[in-house]
Structures are given as C-alpha cells and as structure tokens.
Structure 1
Amino acid sequence: MLLLNTMLETFFILYDYERGDLIYGMFLFEGKDFYPYLSLEPPADLRMPDKSYSVFIQIILFVLYNPWFWFKQFVGKLLLFFLHVRPFWSWMHNVHSILLLLPSYYLALRFLKSGRMDRSALLFSVVFIGIHALTVGIMTEDWDGRFLSPILPLIFGLAGMGLSQFPFFPSPGTQSIS
C-alpha cells in the first residue's frame, strides 16, 4: 500500500478528477477550441475527499462521492484510449485510426469468443488488455496515446486469427502447391 500510494502521488490524479480532464495535462490548453472535447465540466456539487487520507483512499472516496461524474470520466478516457483519436490531430490520422482499430477490435473479439483459443492464452489476453484499459480509465489517458502501444501487437495478432476464420481464407493444410 505504501508503494501504491507513493506511485499514485506522482500522478496528481485527484487534480485531473477535480478538473474533469480526460487526457493528462489538458488544463494547460484551456481556452483552445479542442479543450471541451478532452474534459468534462465538473458538477456544481462536486465533493472532494479530505487530503489527509492517502491518495488511494481519496480515489475511492471520490468515486463514492461522485459516482456519475467519475463514471463519465472513466468512459471518456476509455473511448479516447481505444479509439485513439484526438481533436488536435489531423482528420486523416483520426480517420485512419478508426478504420484500422475498429475492425481490428471486432476481429479480435470474434476470435476471443470463438472458443478456439487455449484457456491460458485467453486469460492472459483478456487480463493484459483489461489491466491496461483499467489503468487508463482510473488514472488518465495520455495526449499522444502511448498507453495503447503495448496492447496493439496482441490486438493485431488476435485480429489476424479472427480474420483467418472467414471462409475466404483456406484452412491450413487444405491448399495444395502445384
């Protein structure tokens, strides 16, 4: 718990929660035209926990005091994380992200649900992706999307396996070489 609290203190999570920032450090860009897309307006009755508690307890209390606001922040961070779009990036970059990632997620989920995966590999995949998603949802998404990078190779591998299930791909060993 001591190590966890020491780590959490370095991120200033409660400041991001209080401001409604979905991406770390967006408060520096308040007034820019993209700022409203990367933060939520805190409710007037926002209740902040006492700073005398450890950061971990403060986070839990914040969630308990402000469940709906925290939930909206959590979902917003996950959307930014998985869609990998930003209003300050070019429209072409954002379109390419969506065109590449959404089909990849679909194909990866299709394969995960197919039952053709070893249970330990399935568990590893779900936990690995889940821990990254929960970390971003609870903490904060980064402006450049670097937290998505560690899971993309796994997503693309699973998507490739999902793509191989479509009938227009021959099963291994059924194609003869002439």
Structure 2
Amino acid sequence: MLHLFRGLGRRLWPHHPALLAGLWGLAQLAFLARFHGPHAANDSGRYLAYAANIAECGYFEPGHNLRYVLYPLFQSFWLALGLGWWGIVAGQMAVAALATRAIYQGTRRLAGGRRGAAALATLLFVAWPDIQQFNVFLLTESLFISLVALSFGAFTRVRSGRPQAWAWLLVALTLTALARPNGFMVGLAAGLAGLDALRRAPNRRPWRAALLLLVLLAPLLWAALNHQLATYYLMDTYQRGELIFRYPLWAVHQAQPLDMPPNGTGPVARVLYFAAHNPAYLGRLMLGKLFVFVSYLKPHYSLAHRAAGVLVLWPAYWLAAQGARRAVIWRPARVFLAAIFLLQTAIIMLTVDDWDVRFLAPVLPAVFVLAALEVTWTLRLMRNEE
C-alpha cells in the first residue's frame, strides 16, 4: 500500500502547481456557495459607506476610519465601475491569487529552489479555511492577508540586490501599513530584519548609524505610537479584564482595586503607568490573551474547529519555532517571518483579541512558511543520514 501511494505521489508531483491552483479555485467556489455570494458581516456596512463616499464625492473620513483607508479605497474602485459587491470580491480573489503565488515563490527561494517546501506552505495556506473564507467577506481581512503574503514574497526578492526588488518591497509594505491599523507591524518586522543584518555585518558603522538614527527619531516614534493608540480605549478593556472583546465570560478579575492613570495622560503613558502600578494583574491579563490568541480554543468555535487547531496549528507553531532557528535558511527572512508573528502577538497581548480568527489569520502565512521549511529540511537531513 505504501508503495502504491509513493508511486501515485511521483506521478502527481510534476503537476502539483496545477493541483494547488485547482484546490485554490475550489476553495473560492466552496465559500461563495456557503455564503451565497459576497458576504457582509459586522463592519462591512462601515467600509461600504466609506467606499461609497470616496467613489461618489472623493470624501475620506477622518479619525479612526482613516486607519483603514486602503480597503474602502479598494472597494470604491469597484463601486465606481458599477460592479458592486461581486466586483469587490472578484478583486479580492485576484489579489489573493497573486498572494498565493507569492507564498509559493517566496518559500521556494528560501528553500534554495526546492519545490517541496513551497508546495507544503502553499497547501497549508490554500487549505486552511480560516484564511480562504475571507476572500468572500466584505472586510479588510482578505486584502490584509494577501498584502502580508505579497510583502513576504517581495522581501525574499531583495536578496538579489536589484533596485526594483527594493522598490516592490517598499510598495508592498506601504500598502500593508494602510490596510489596517496594525499593518505597520509588517514594515516594522522588515526593519528589525534589516537592523539584525546590520548588527551582524563586519562593518559596524552602518549599525551604529542606525542606532543613532533611532535615538534621534525616538520623539517622532513616540508621537506616532500615541497617534496609533489615540482612538483605542485600552484602559476600559483592562478594567473589564477582557481576553476577548466584549465577551465577559472569559475575563480576568482583579483581586483588589486597580490603580488607574490620571486624566490627561497620553495613550502610551497610560499603558506604562498601568503596567507599573498593576504588574501582577496586567501580567495575568496578557498571559490570558496570549492563550486565547494562539490556542485556537475560543468558546465560539465548534469542537471540530478546535480540534483542527490543536492537530494542525499547535505542531505548526513548534515547527515554525524550529524553522526560525534553522541556520541554512536565509537569516533576514527568518527574522522577518518570526517578527511578523511575534509583533502581532504582542499587539494582541497589549490590546484585546476578537472572538474569531481575524487577528490570527493574517500572520498564519508566516507560521506555515517556517513550518514547511523546517519539515522539508528535516526530511532532507534524514534522507542524507540514511
């Protein structure tokens, strides 16, 4: 029986790109059928109204909604063409197809041209339903997930040193930063990878210059972080002990009254004050959010959904952690991918998670790529030892 499976695998392997493309297409059709076409959910009305204002009178909303500007702008393009919701979803699927290709090609570059890791990473990306379902939702997640994947693909190209590769990476990172308020984390991950490369370079002068630049830019970075947090009410969620936004059944309860920051304190200073005066409580709160975010055991999920997370994601996390340490993989890419996941995790621990997977799905491509690389390198070493 094993011999038959191996023979079938060898015959199908030359056609695996077409098989992956077919599986991707079937996934899109399956979710279109499941949701009876384009699906509006929770925040969809807000984005569509914003997009209509852009398409009809060029009006861009200020404040919190401006942080999501790319998606309403994307929607407004299809609305202006008169294609409506179906045009938006078709556009999302087109970008998602490019993102899937970027996952395959980027992983193959990191694997030294070998296609096994690329095929496995792409299979996980295509087959994981909590990623592909968003392509039919009128929400930011589809575009954001695709832009994270496209940023990864663009990042793997800069190893060539060609100017156009750097230009494409800059475009991808800028678009990702405009897609969601936390989109800046992908650019920050790229920056951390760059700093790590400078730190390890024989010539230390660029590394010292980069540190000096960061010191000089510290006031600007402080102001930018305050701006990012200005429209979030973190102290309210801290007081309620929420692990999942507006879900009181899973919450951390304080043993004694909390020491709250004084009025008039800036957003970042409020968090620092709260951390300094309530360290044990905030520590328990952050650990609870970490568990909720990565465990995939949220109360709204079915038993089958939770089991899939435990059986697939938990091993993938471990494999990805091993892959992030695998020296044969280009180090800047390892730092970049690990930083994407860790930065998103840190953001969730400091803010609050949502009831579904919309905050985890955008960073799962980083997990799948590192896990696939680790699997294929381990199998290769085992074959060499034999």
TM range (shorter): 0.7 to 0.9
How far is 1:3 from its partner?
A: 4.3
How far is 1:169 from its partner?
A: 8.4
Structure 2 vs 1, CA of residues 43 and 51 (structure 1 numbering), >3 Å: closer, same or farther? Answer: farther
Residue 141, structure 1, aligned to residue 353, structure 2: yes
Residue 85, structure 1, aligned to residue 297, structure 2: yes
Provide the rounded CA distance (Å) in 1 between the counterparts of 2:343 and 2:245. 19
Q: Deviations over 1:135-167 (max 9, x none)?
A: 111111111121111111111111111111334
1:93-132 aligned within 5 A: 93-132=305-344
SS at match of 2:337: helix
Partner of 2:225: 4
SS at match of 1:166: helix
**1:51 and 1:58 in contact (8 A); partners too:** no
AA aligned to 1:102 is: W
AA aligned to 1:18 is: Q
Structure 2 vs 1, CA of residues 114 and 6 (structure 1 numbering), >3 Å: closer, same or farther? Answer: closer
Mean CA deviation greater in 14-23 or 77-86? 77-86
Partner of 2:246: 25
Partner of 1:14: 235
How far is 1:11 from its partner?
A: 1.9
**1:21 and 1:39 in contact (8 A); partners too:** yes
How far is 1:170 from its partner?
A: 7.8
Partner of 1:174: none
Amino-acid identity (%): 27
How far is 1:56 from its partner?
A: 1.3
Which has the higher relative contact order, 1 or 2, with Cα contacts under 8 A spaced 6 or more apart?
1
Residue 45, structure 1, aligned to residue 257, structure 2: yes
AA aligned to 1:72 is: R
Provide the rounded CA distance (Å) in 2 between the counterparts of 1:118 and 1:167. 19
Partner of 2:268: 56
Question: Unaligned regions of 5+ residues in structure 1, if any?
Answer: 172-178
Q: Deviations over 1:42-82 (max 9, x none)?
A: 22232111122112111110000000110111111111111
Provide the rounded CA distance (Å) in 1 between the counterparts of 2:224 and 2:268. 11
Q: TM-score, normalised by structure 2?
A: 0.40
AA aligned to 1:60 is: L
Stretches of 4+ moved more than 6 A in 1?
168-171
Larger radius of gyration: 2
**1:78 and 1:133 in contact (8 A); partners too:** yes
AA aligned to 1:25 is: R
Question: Unaligned regions of 5+ residues in structure 2, if any?
Answer: 1-221
Mean CA deviation greater in 124-133 or 162-171? 162-171
Q: TM-score, normalised by structure 1?
A: 0.83
Mean CA deviation greater in 118-127 or 59-68? 118-127
Mean CA deviation greater in 61-70 or 111-120? 111-120
Partner of 2:70: none
AA aligned to 1:15 is: D
CA-atom RMSD in angstroms? 2.0
Higher helix share: 2
Residue 151, structure 1, aligned to residue 363, structure 2: yes
**2:353 and 2:359 in contact (8 A); partners too:** yes
Mean CA deviation greater in 83-92 or 67-76? 83-92
